[in-house]
Structure 1
Amino acid sequence: MEEEIVPFRNLCSREYRGHEKKVHSVAWNCNGTKLASGSVDCTARVWHIEPHGYGAVKCVELAGHRGSVDELCWDPKHADLVATASIDKTVRLWDARTRKCAQQAELSGLNINIAYRPDGTHIAVGNSDNELTILDVRRFKPIHKRKFNYEVNEIAWNTESNIFFLTTENGTVEVLSYPSLRPLDILMAHTDDCYCITIDPCGRYFAVGSADSLVSLWDISEMLCVRTFTKIEWVLLEVPYHNINFNHLYHTGEYLACGSQDCFIDISNVQTGRTVHQIPCRDAMDSVKWNPKSDLLAYAEEDNHNLTGEGIFRIFGFKSAG
């Protein structure tokens, strides 16, 4: 009888240290060769990660922000350009080869969200005052600004770059046309805050994580919910989801990684909704991101149990020594 193939069995996590304080966010570049991390220590770092996970790890520091680097994202068309959003009210575009800030924009609030348009032309930034700013990458100047009178959490474009999504405290996902930002739909997605959103690399689905302990999967063409991911104990404990991400290997989006206040990351099969693996963690999750070219999953925890105070992130997907 053939042995059943269990996804992610015999794989392990490796730890990476370098920041002086907690790591808030992690993100891979478009070809999967570099990982950027943003930290409370006011810096970002770019790491050269070997697929096998062995050998000396090289990293460079991107210094200049005067506040915590809460979010970052890579140019989807350029493997060496990374944008950082900081609570110092600036957004910066860095060239990882020179460690220099190539562009900088002074905005009006504490920046907590950032997303690149898939065609690489625009960057969306959300701040703690619920203001959305769209920057033209070439001139690095705002071309749209919109203030909301309710909490807006995460932001994202579809893969064709013509639809823009916002998750809100009202349990809704707002769907806007782009570039006009004209409202197309308001999806009543959850019974509590919608915290996060991620787009399937094939452009078929998007997933939404909520404070109601559910993750919902939506068909983009129909704007209909096709599945929810949950566990009974999570519903009872009302554990919110703060981070979700589709895998990108072979551009299938076959698996969805979900990070919450629970001390593990759940990896589910998108088509069945079933858990295929859980990664044990010590704390709640701040950021989870799949590599675009391999099944390596980078994640940063709140790290309340880290006694050294040094900023740590981990990458899951390496073969165990045994």
Structure 2
Amino acid sequence: MARIAPRTSVAPERLKTLLPTLKPTIYHDPGTSKTSNSIRTIAWNPLGTYIATGCVDKTLRVWNADKPNVRQTTELKGHTASIEKVAFNPTKELELCSVSSDGVVRFWDVKNKQVLNEVKGLGETFTLAWAPRGDCVVVGNKEDKLFVISPTQSTPLSWHQQSVPTNNITFCWSGQRIYTTTGDGKTRILTFPEFEPFYRFDYKEESEAEFKLTGHTSSCINVELHPHNRYLATGGTDSLISLWETTEWNCLRTATKMAGPVRSLSFSWDGLYIVGGTDEGTGLEVFISETGEHLCTYKTTTPSPIVTWAPNRYALAYADSTGLRVIGFSTGGK
């Protein structure tokens, strides 16, 4: 995979020209079939050197980003159902958390293939977000319960029943708030660890007092925070990406070029670009964050619902029906 030097931004005109021409690096796992190995989740580690993938067939694998051969990977075994979400500890290079519909959350030492901790009996868990300091995670299940879990304790620190279907979670960079997307098309802003509404209207009835971001006509399924806290991006089953400024919480712009429900969202490391993945069409859509302008489409062979930028360079990891792919380029433009 060709690299770009860390912390070197690329102008939109150049990215628009180069990105669609790049060929992906193929990370192929021959031990699983195309149908059973469907990737549900992808995560880069903090240094952008490893990529974790979790699959429907219970395969949890960590790839060396520069070595796409499966023999150079680490397989982590133990889950008994689909891996729904994986995420690396933001403060540690090789500590991984995995969430499965078997109701078990595991913390892994990837280097030594060891389970550091596991928490069982959480129901069909499918959402996961690390706190910025790496001291805990928030995990959600399909019964709309949110659990606060420590990497070192075998029972949740707390749990909080949500009143609406809750689809996704992310933290603010201070760790004092979380953003949750809901089935009614809204995004909630909650205090952490109390899980109380961060903003309220004093002049409304208690049932309507909570301030929420209302930007979708159907279920809001994804949320992603700009790396410099300029915007909060939300994506919905209405195929829209909404970009909110984080001071007055106005919706500044809406991206409308997605072919289907926005199954994943990711900002580039510098926040200049945002990419969306969907399970319809055959392409990844890239937008300019500052304007909402559609920059380009990266054509894929099949729909690619899961996509994420590397944390320190312009490299995109995505999944299609055949497995993991990564595209990237160097500043030399070769």
Residues 1:94 and 2:108 aligned together = yes
Paired residues for 1:86-235 under 5 Å = 86-184=100-198, 185-231=211-257
Find the partner of 2:87 among 46, 61, 73: 73
| Distance in 2 of aligned mates of 1:101 and 1:54 | 24
Partner residue in 2 for 1:253: 271
What amino acid does structure 2 have at the position aligned with 1:113? T
CA–CA separation in structure 2 for the residues paired with 1:71 and 1:255: 23
**1:139 CA drift (Å):** 2.4
Match of 1:42 in 2: 58
Query: Structure 1-normalised TM-score?
Result: 0.87
Deviation at 1:12, TM superposition (A): 2.4
* 1:284 counterpart (290, 303, 317): 303
Residue 327 of structure 2, aligned match among 304, 316, 319: 316
Name the SS for the 2:271 alignment partner: coil
Task: Please list, as runs of the form range in 1=range in 2, the aligned pairs for 1:16-55 lying within 5 A after superposition.
Answer: 16-18=27-29, 20=32, 21-50=37-66
- CA apart distance, 1:154: 0.6
- Tell me the C-alpha RMSD between the 2 structures: 2.2
Q: Is the 8 A contact 2:26 2:68 kept in 1?
A: no
Q: Is this contact kept in 1: 2:314–2:329, CA < 8 A?
A: no
Report how far residue 140 of structure 1 moved. 4.7
Rounded to whole Å, the distance in 1 between the matches of 2:68 and 2:277 is: 26
Measure how far apart 1:57 and its partner are.
6.8
Deviation at residue 107 of structure 1 after TM alignment? 3.0
Gap change, CA 1:23 and 1:222, over 3 Å in 2: same
Among 235, 242, 246, the alignment partner of 2:263 is: 242
Report if the CA contact (8 A) 1:198-1:206 is conserved.
Answer: yes
Equivalent position to 1:85, from 99, 103, 122: 99
Deviation at 1:109, TM superposition (A): 0.8
Of Structure 1 and Structure 2, the greater strand share is in 1
* Residue aligned with 2:157, SS: strand
1:294, distance to aligned residue in structure 2 (A): 1.1
Secondary structure class of the residue paired with 2:314: coil
Identity %: 27
Uncovered stretches (5+) of structure 1, i.e. residues with no partner: 307-311
Deviation at 1:273, TM superposition (A): 1.5
Give secondary structure in 1 for the equivalent of 2:148: strand
Corresponding position: 1:58 with 2:72: yes
**Residues 127-159 of structure 1: per-residue CA shift (max 9 Å, x gap):** 122211111233253122122343210111011
Q: Is the 8 A contact 1:43 1:64 kept in 2?
A: no
Q: Which amino acid aligns with 2:295?
A: V
Q: Is residue 140–residue 147 contact of structure 2 (8 Å, CA) maintained in 1? A: yes
Scaled by the length of structure 2, the TM-score of the pair is 0.84
Question: Where does residue 12 of structure 1 map in the other structure?
Answer: 23
Query: CA deviation digits over 1:258-299, x for unaligned, max 9?
Result: 112222110111112122221112333332111111111101
In 2 relative to 1, CA 54–196 (structure 1 residues): closer, same or farther, beyond 3 Å? Answer: closer
